Structures are given as structure tokens and as C-alpha cells.
A = this chain, B = another copy of it.
Amino acid sequence: MRKKKAVVLLSGGLDSTTTLYLAQHKGYRCYCLIFDYGQRHKREIQSAVKIAKLSNCEYKIIKFSLPWAMKSSLISKKIPIPDRDITEKSNATIPSTYVPARNTIFLSFAASYAESINAGTIFIGANAVDFSGYPDCRPTYFSAFNRLIKVGTKRGAEGKRIKAVAPLLNKSKAEIVALAYKLGVPLELTWSCYEGGKKPCRRCDSCKLREKGFKEAKMRDPLVYTPKLKK
């Protein structure tokens, strides 16, 4: 039997990589979509490519710039990445790392890719529990997007399935870490830090949420704790 096809938005981070492995585990033949949009942490692109190759997936890298988004600290290096308390309800405010309409742009490309290869499903690793409060990560957003592609694509207009799913949406970061281990996700290849330096900064939202996840899951993050090998 031929495998069902899916497009997977792959940033190279913990969530999207776990989503890719989950989609493969569910029997999908995955086509990864990677974006080079001028993000500060360009390093995640290399991670994504390595992960796509390791998991034997076709992948496409789509490059574009968002010249108007220089107010986002995820794009402009002139704006510092915020160092804030993620344990409080700080996610009630949207931080400067927000890139206007980013997931909508990503998902639009994914819908175009999906329709072109006759894939009915788009996987996205969005999470609305341990997240930064971005509006385009909430459940209501995904319902609205699915309505849009149902009416706005040829595939959808013909009554065929075309749907974005976010299987990690309601999971805590600890649950995601546990799932990643279960699925054999190559955690050492993933990259979450917004700074994109040589080592995770452990100060940005993304590092803190990841660290909290590993701690609560009682696991060690191979990116942060590298065991020294004895000679």
C-alpha cells in the first residue's frame, strides 16, 4: 500500500522534529518544508536539513525576506532577545520575537506544496501550552486556517482532504520531551535557541521552555549537557 503523504513544517527545533518523527511513526511519507526568512538563528536551518536527511525525507528550502519585519528581535540583531520569566503568565503579552503573520506565511507555502504533491495533511509543531503567547499558535487559529484552505485551494474545492494538524498543540514541553525520547528523535541535532550561537543561550524563551521541559521530564538535554568521554 502506498503511504499517505504529508508536508511537515520543519524548523529544526524540538517541537517540529518531534512532529516529523510522530508523522513518520503514524505511517506518513513526509515532505519537509524549511524556511530561510532571515531568522537570527540561521543555524536552525542546518539542523533542519540534517534531520530531514537523517529521516530520509524529501525537503525543500524556501527563501524569502520580510523587509518590513525589522521590529522583530527574531530577525533584527539590533533588538535584544528578551530574557523574561516564563514560569509566570508572561505569555499573556506577545514578545518582540513575534514575526508578523509568520505561521500564516509558512502554512500558505505548505498548503501550496501539499496541493502540488497530493498530500492531504500538513503537520506543524505548534504548541499552545509551554509557548510564547504568539497568536498564530492557538487552536482557534488552526481552525481558521483549515477553513481557509478548504475553500481556497483546488484540492479543497474538489472535496479532497487538505488540513493542517498540530499534534503537540495541547502537550506540555515535558510531554513533548518524553515523546521525543520514545520516538527516537535525534535531540542532539535539534536547535531551539533564538540566539543561534554555538551553544544554547539558556536565556531566551525558547531555551527556557526547552530546559523546563527536559527538567520536568527528568531527562538531560544532549545540547546542553554533553557527557565528556573518557580517553
A residues sitting closer than 8 Å to B (CB atoms) are 60, 62-69, 71, 94, 98-105, 107-109, 111-113, 115-117, 135-136, 138, 140-141, 144-145, 147-157
- By a CB distance below 8 angstroms, the chain B residues around A148 are 104, 141, 144-145, 147-148
CB distance from A150 to the nearest CB of B (A): 8
Distance, CA A136 to CA B140, complexed state (A):
21
Q: How far is B112's CA from A49's CA once the two chains are assembled, in angstroms?
A: 26
Contact A105 B105 (CB under 8 A): yes
B147 touches A135 (CB 8 A): no
Q: Are B111 and A104 in contact (CB under 8 A)?
A: yes
* Contacting residues, chain B, for A135 (C-beta < 8 A): 151-154, 156-157
Tell me how far the C-beta of A128 lies from the nearest C-beta in chain B, rounded to whole angstroms: 12
| Contacting pair B153 A112 (CB below 8 A) | no
